[in-house]
Amino acid sequence: MSVICKILVYTNDANFSDKMKRVFGSEEYVLRVVGLFTEVVEILHFELYDVLVIETEFMGEMNGLLKIADNVLLGIPIVVACGESKLKIVDGENSRFYFVSKFSDPEEWKKVIQMAVSENYIITTKGAQT
């Protein structure tokens, strides 16, 4: 049995969209890219996705989007593609945000998505004796 990760990407940057398609274009991922945030809300109302990736060139727009995402999307991990040089994790009211450089290499992107999924969905038996 294989596990498939469903990723929804919000971006208007064609280069970033192409990068995400290259990085997550294997059988292990289902990737959907949209250019309107209203589409994100509508899609997530009807379909389940494991992770939301948000990328915008307008940093003034980013704060508003993150507030909406935190309050409307209730709990989905959100990876924010930005200018951060190091991974930064911030807990919102309802969601956890993972800030990563939009220019990170493919392996870094996969690690961040894996971290977001494992921290938010995978149940482990920490400390259990075998």
DSSP secondary structure string for all residues of the chain: ----EEEEEE---HHHHHHHHHHT-STTEEEEEES-HHHHHHHHHHS--SEEEEE-S-HHHHHHHHHHHHHHSTT--EEEEES-SS-EEEE-SS-EEEEEETT--HHHHHHHHHHHHHHHH----TT---
| CATH number of the domain that residue 98 is part of | 3.40.50.2300
pTM for the structure as a whole = 0.86
Residue 69 lies in a domain: yes
Q: What is the pLDDT along the chain (130 residues), one digit of tens a residue?
A: 356 899 999 999 999 999 999 999 888 999 999 999 889 989 988 999 999 999 987 767 777 778 888 777 777 899 999 887 889 999 888 889 999 999 999 999 999 999 999 888 766 665 544 4
Residue 130 lies in a domain: no
Residue 27 lies in domain:
5-121
Residue 12 lies in a domain: yes
Residue 19 lies in a domain: yes
> Given this model, what pLDDT does residue 43 score?
93
Residue 54 lies in a domain: yes
Residue 44 lies in a domain: yes
